[in-house]
Chain A
Amino acid sequence: MTNKQTQFPIAVIGSGPAGLAAANTLLALGHQPVIFEKEKITGGKLSRWHQLFPGFISAAEIQEQLIGPLKKASVKISTETEVKTMKPDSGGLEIETASGEKIIAKGAVWASGYTEFDARRKEEYGYGLYKNVLTSADVEEMLAKDGKLPFDSADVKRIGILHCVGSRDEKVGNTYCSKVCCICAVKQAIEMKKLYPSAEVFNFYMDLRLFGKGYEELYREAQMDWQVNFIRGRVSELAEDQQGKIRMKTEDTLTGVPMKMTLDFVILMVGMEGKRFSFLSENKNTDGSDFISYPENFTGENQTALPNVMVAGACKGPSTIVDAMNDGKSAALALHQYLISQAEK
């Protein structure tokens, strides 16, 4: 009944876990969603990750579970279509893409996700300059693609993993915690031990934020079963020596001892950054971040400035995949309720 109200579809912006979960929910509620994705491929970050924490489930598998039902229902996914702006329209909503195309929709779920912190902005770590410095996202992509990293197992003796790169750092303008990088670092440390069993792995953290179910256990496993070393301290700088090895300086803030160490390669746990869209919300976040701000009032957390647009996922702030998916479902439901209430009027 609701979907027969008008011939217009419901738009979902972003095909990451949040967007896909929203589309699935809309489908289940009897709507006809169409998905707009600015990249060539669908799945958001999911399409780039290898195995997901905490249970090492393959990201490709999860993506398949999310996309399968949509394909079956021939939900249209327009890739390489970036949505630029949206405004109210007599049909509900006018959506304008970057190429200038205008589409009318009844409503929309906005799930544009986050961007990874550009590690080159943290110049002292030499990302982009030193070939043995990678980001956590690089590692995921390499593992997803070839199942290995471009370092010869026999040469690798020490691996460093740096937490909080671009998060909780006033100097780069991001004071907030990106939430998932600690547990992701624990997961990648174990993966490194699996790939390079004879190498030592050192995680340098400020403090460990392991809030989710099974996270603390994974951390214990990393220490007990995999002998991963966790050292509290922020690394001040990295330098490259003649052989391309990375020399690192830090201070163990638990013992107060300055440390220098040579590492074969280093992984930077990059944080998340948001992007503001003025048509969704004019408000600023209290932490100064650029994530889309939303009413933090428990019951209206998907709402935006446009009544028929709901916002979901990591575009609102750092989140895990499960949280992003749940938020996507919640947004779909909120939109559904709104459309019903409008129809009843």
Chain B
Amino acid sequence: MSTIPTHTFPLFVVPFLIGLLFISVWLLFLFLKWIGELDRNGLVKFGQNILTKKTLRAIGEVFMESLLHRKLFRKNPLLGYMHMCFAFGWFMIILIGKLEVIAYSGKITARPYVAIFFKHFVSPEEKFVRSGMYSFLMDFFLLMILSGLFLAALKRFRSKTLGMTHTTRHNRIDRWTLAFLWLIFPARFLAESIASGSEGYSFLTGQTGRLLASFLPVQQMEIPFWWIYSIALFGFFILLPFSRYMHIPTEVAYIFLKNWGLDKRRVNRGFTNFEIYSCSRCGVCIDVCQLKTQAGIGTVQAVNFTRDIRSGSLCEEDLKNCLMCGRCNEACPVGIDITLQKQMYRGQFARFDKNEFTYLNTPTPAEQSTVVYFPGCMSSLSPGIEQSMVKIMEQAGEDFKVLGDEQRACCGRPMLLSGNTEAAQKLIAFNRDFILSSNAKMLVTSCPICYKMFRENYQLPIPVLHHSEYLLQLAETGKIEMEKQQLRMVYHDPCDLGRGSKIYDQPRQLLQQAGTLVPSNFERENALCCGGSLGNTKINQASKDKITKHLVEELSAPNPELLATACPVCKRTIARHSSIKVMDIAEVVAENIRKKTIQPNVKEEFESLLK
């Protein structure tokens, strides 16, 4: 065992130490402040779960996501590799560096800077237990980081190489932070190589050192390079909290909070901050946003939203110009729930008038029935859907009641999406009372917007079914049968049904009983928004049209005879631009339903004719 000489305190470690101290204190202060802003429920969860295996799960997730960047890898392998090189490589260098010092000195309590500037203190000739292996690993991970750096530089100058059409622009602080970050490892590489001189540590620094020593006066260059390395670390640490790179420490904390079960659905500024600051500004959300790709609106994407909040420059216009389609939620490698965040922030701009909806206070008691069918305002605009549902339920012999427009109010989701929670609550209360007064066993709706709302915000004691689920049940229990046609169909996933409620299979299974489904380029999680979203109150018709036209092109590409969907808004929006017929699944079912031999309603009609 050897000891590091205690008298050596090289001055160049000072910048590094100041930086380290600064960032530690700053992060501690900030995170504690945000935790203090959590609501009671959040704090309770925090206390309850900190000592459970949820913490272990969080550690696992930090490793997979923050270090290995698994999700980003799946979205974009090259970009994932680049991030992994930096994160995992750096982490390993810190870890192995620490172990190396322990192996060298036999003590765990070495001063923090020793591991960082190890090669200054220990010359290559000094051998200790597995010193060769440590040198090799340190060189290996250094090489890994440098390869990531190479890709990062490539991305900066040619983003298309990494499969991205749009990337984010850096502000001045970001640029400086990036410059320091990029400087750290080349400086370390050169400093170590020079320190190794003609002796050499391992394959990378050793070889380079030998090469440099052959023509340069390396002896005089070592200290200046350690200075550069230390200053680069200092600069990075000092600027990090004010730059986009703040996401690195925040995401780690965010993953822990998420695993401890903190509920985003509550207005919870403490948690929101962790989420917003976890955005790495990777820009993945730009390419998936149809407002950007189709309508050329480039100021409203998730990445702009998080930036605007961080810089305090969020404006109503941008906040409300969003389809709330959730494509960015699905794409974001950090897993930020952008639409929920936007919904919460929209509350700042919502005005609630107490006199609104006063007419709702006079509910008439509902008639009793087993199934309550709630067409929703949007299905009323597409009456074919409601008619088809009635036809099917009659044929199936169901005991049902359709809630007419006197007996229901809007489900409240448009209000909620616009941030007007109070107004939404009024509507919820009205509908909820009415639905419950019917003593129904199940609530069926043909509108994905209502469906999501009923499931998430109504706390109903009875099952809520989207009509695709309900019709599939009817088909599976033999209550209805369909005639399978020679019909080529493409199915379009509505945002609130697919990404919003994870209903992908039921409509497809149902359609397959009526014809043949052919795939389009945008299916399931990856489905496009139709552009008719109720969540966007700022978009103009021309932009909407661009989005819809592109969708219709994509859906029509496989040459189907029918475009099927499961949402009245999608249906109407698509139909406006489609030369191919557009139908709701209920209409498809109703059209192809096989007539049963005895139909109660036919009998009744016959009898009334005889009178």
Contact = CB atoms under 8 A, between A and B. Distances in A.
Contact of B405 (A124, A129, A130, A239): A239
B576 A129 contact: no
Contacts of A239: 380, 383, 404-405
A123 interface: yes
Contacts, number: 33
A124 B384 CA distance: 9
B30 interface: no
B576 A237 contact: no
Most buried by B among A123, A126, A237, A247: A123
B575 A121 contact: yes
B387 A123 contact: no
A123 B575 contact: yes
Contacts of A345: none
A171 B576 contact: yes
A123 B541 contact: no
B572 interface: yes
A30 interface: no
B381 A124 contact: yes
A124 B575 contact: no
Contact of B541 (A130, A171, A247): A171
Interface string B378-409: 00111110010000000000000000110000
Nearest to A125: B383
Contacts of A171: 541, 576
A123 B405 contact: no
A208 B380 CA distance: 28
Contact of A124 (B383, B387, B576): B383
A170 B382 contact: no
B541 A124 contact: no
Contacts of A124: 380-383
Q: Is the interface of B mostly helix, strand, loop or mixed?
A: helix
Interface in A237-255: 237-240, 247, 249
A171 B541 CA distance: 8
A240 B402 CA distance: 13
Most buried by A among B381, B383, B405, B541: B383
Given A129-B387, A171-B541, A237 B381 contact: yes
A46 to B, nearest CB: 30
Contacts of B576: 121, 171-173
B: contact size bracket: 10 to 19
A203 B113 CA distance: 85
Interface string A19-43: 0000000000000000000000000
Contacts of A123: 381-384, 572, 575
A303 B515 CA distance: 50
Nearest to A238: B383
Contact of A129 (B384, B572, B575): B384
A123 B380 CA distance: 9
A327 to B, nearest CB: 31
A258 to B, nearest CB: 9
A170 B541 contact: yes
A229 to B, nearest CB: 23
A306 B173 CA distance: 64
A129 B541 contact: no
B321 to A, nearest CB: 18
B583 to A, nearest CB: 11
A160 to B, nearest CB: 16
Interface string A82-126: 000000000000000000000000000000000000000101101
Contacts of B575: 121, 123
Contact of A130 (B380, B382, B383, B404): B383
Interface in A158-175: 170-173
Contacts of A237: 380-381
Interface in B352-399: 380-384, 387
B74 to A, nearest CB: 39
A92 B382 CA distance: 51
A239 B404 CA distance: 9
Contacts of A126: 383
A237 B572 CA distance: 14
B389 to A, nearest CB: 13
B355 to A, nearest CB: 14
A51 B381 CA distance: 33
A233 to B, nearest CB: 17
A173 B575 CA distance: 12
Contacts of A129: 383-384, 387
Contacts of B572: 123
Nearest to B541: A170
Contacts of B387: 129
Contacts of B541: 170-171
Interface string B404-445: 110000000000000000000000000000000000000000
A249 B405 CA distance: 10
Contacts of B383: 123-124, 126, 129-130, 238-240
A129 B383 CA distance: 8
B376 to A, nearest CB: 12
A249 B381 CA distance: 11
Interface in B550-606: 572, 575-576
A156 to B, nearest CB: 22
A211 B541 CA distance: 29
A238 B572 CA distance: 15
Contacts of A238: 383
24 contacts: A121-B575, A121-B576, A123-B381, A123-B382, A123-B383, A123-B384, A124-B380, A124-B381, A124-B383, A129-B383, A129-B384, A129-B387, A170-B541, A171-B576, A172-B576, A173-B545, A173-B576, A237-B381, A239-B380, A239-B383, A239-B405, A240-B383, A247-B405, A249-B405
Interface of B: 380-384, 387, 404-405, 541, 545, 572, 575-576
* Closest 4 pairs between A and B when the two form their complex, measured CB to CB: A124-B381, A126-B383, A170-B541, A123-B382
Given A247-B405, A249-B405, 15 more contacts: A123-B381, A123-B383, A123-B575, A124-B380, A124-B382, A129-B384, A170-B541, A171-B541, A171-B576, A173-B545, A173-B576, A237-B381, A239-B380, A239-B404, A240-B383
Interface of A: 121, 123-124, 126, 129-130, 170-173, 237-240, 247, 249
